[in-house]
């Protein structure tokens, strides 16, 4: 499922992903397990009432690589 992120329209990072969630544009939310919980919890709180699928990823590095960026990512989302 993570490999699908490379080919879909997406957001990367907490701010852009939160913005997309508020606009109801998110299909799947990806959260890195090693991200600071207080930062990603706001995204989870936005996603759950909208029944957005939430996928946990092992690490921020792995999520960043899946998004085809050279840095770590705490969160990303596949857009509708």
Range of the domain at 51: 2-79
Exposed, middle or buried by CB within 10 Å (0-12, 13-18, 19+), for 24?
exposed
CA-based Rg of the chain, rounded to a whole angstrom? 11
Per-residue confidence in pLDDT tens, the chain, 80 aa: 787 788 889 999 999 999 999 999 999 999 999 999 999 999 999 999 999 999 999 999 999 999 999 999 999 999 99
Q: What is the pTM of this model?
A: 0.94
**What is the number of domains present in the chain?**
1
Helix (H), strand (E), coil (C) string for 7-71: CCCEEECHHHHHHHHHCCCEEEEEEECCCCHHHHHHHHHHHHHHCCEEEEECCHHHHHHHCCCCC
State the CATH number of the domain containing residue 6. Answer: 3.30.1330.30
């Amino acid at each position: 499922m993570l490999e699908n992120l490379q080919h879909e329209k997406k957001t990367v990072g907490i701010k852009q992903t939160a913005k997309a969630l508020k606009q109801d544009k998110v299909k799947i939310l990806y959260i890195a397990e090693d991200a600071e919980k207080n930062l990603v919890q706001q995204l989870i709180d936005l996603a759950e009432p909208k029944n957005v699928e939430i996928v946990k990823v092992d690490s921020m590095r792995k999520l960043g690589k899946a998004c085809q960026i050279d840095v770590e990512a705490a969160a990303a989302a596949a857009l509708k």
